[in-house]
Amino acid sequence: MKLPAFFIAHGSPVLALEDNEYTRFLERLGQDLGTPRGIVVFSAHWDSPEQLITVDAQHETQHDFYGFPEEMYSLTYPAPGDPALSSRISELFNQSNLPHQPVLGRGLDHGVWVILKKMFPQADIPVVALSVDSLRSPEEQYTIGRMLAPLREEGILLLGSGGLVHNLRMLKQDDQPESWAQEFDAWIAKGLESWDLPSLFAYEKKAPHVRDAVPSYGREHFVPLFYIMGTADAGRQAQLMIQAYQYGTLSLNCWMVD
């Protein structure tokens, strides 16, 4: 069965410890999806000018953050890798002449394991992590995602992990969203629901409040959206599954594309 693909906001790492509307949604989503043959994640926390692919048979857990509760540093997500799946991804990239490199021993960053710990807590499904390149054009990012579309018909769940509104310098003490964050999310939602690629690809010029929603230092959190959209180029359908906010300026949403 062809699996849908998803853009999932990972918010703050403490999401791994929280029990709220959004984390319960992720738990239900994982249950609804059953047991994919493998999971491939484009992570905002692996930003590289070269396309990189994990090739480990077993992953370590990265604690790539600081200043959080001590409990965070004891959390693990010991998911296996899948070298055969990594090779399949390499094959698809080769077919489109995309330069790429295997990476051994990197481990899973929190952009990957925080959401997977909620969705698939047993950590028994093979995971392959992929880098993003925040300096590529949206068209290029979309095209790279499209290269991996065949995996959706091979039992592989494709995810993009990031955050559409992700401004760490404007965090609030409460979760009440800023109006500008809501307006930006609404503009993105309109573009996604109509699959308006010309507008979305030009989001840096057209989207309201884009400098606050996608600050120059945080573009890598937004771009997994384009990679994951590319995997659904054949169908071009998008559905908002949930919309919430964390600390006012971190958008917690999940978009399903098919």
Find tokens 């004891």 and name the residue. 74
**End-to-end Cα, the chain, rounded Å:** 12
C-alpha span between 110 and 122 (Å, rounded): 16
| Cα-based distances in Å from 45 to 10, 119, 177, 240 | 11, 19, 24, 23
Q: How far apart are CA 187 and CA 192, in angstroms?
A: 9
- pLDDT tens for each residue of the chain, 258 residues long: 899 999 999 999 999 999 999 999 999 999 999 999 999 999 999 999 999 999 999 999 999 999 999 999 999 999 999 999 999 999 999 999 999 999 999 999 999 999 999 999 999 999 999 999 999 999 999 999 999 999 999 999 999 999 999 998 888 888 899 999 999 999 999 999 999 999 999 999 999 999 999 999 999 999 999 999 999 999 999 999 999 999 999 999 999 999
What pLDDT shows up at residue 169? 80
Total domain count, the chain = 1
Instruction: Please report, for the domain that includes residue 177, its CATH number.
Output: 3.40.830.10
pLDDT confidence of residue 111: 97
**Measured between alpha carbons, how far is 44 from 106 in angstroms, rounded to an integer?**
15
Are 51 and 97 in contact, with CB atoms under 8 Å apart?
Answer: no
Q: Is 215 exposed, middle or buried (0-12, 13-18, 19+ CB in 10 A)?
A: middle
* Token output for 145: 């995602």
Range of the domain at 148: 5-257
Give the distance between the most distant pair of CA atoms in the chain: 48
CA distance 158 to 155: 10
Q: Return the pLDDT at 161.
A: 98
Assess contact for 13 and 68: CB atoms under 8 A. yes
Length of the chain: 258
Q: Please name the helix (run of DSSP H) or strand (run of DSSP E) that holds residue 27, with its range, or none.
A: helix 21-33
Tell me the sheet residues that pair with 59. none
Closest CA to 159 of 248, 40, 257: 40
**Which pLDDT belongs to residue 170?**
84
pTM attached to this predicted model: 0.97
Residue 124 burial class via C-beta count within 10 angstroms: exposed 0-12, middle 13-18, buried 19 and up: exposed
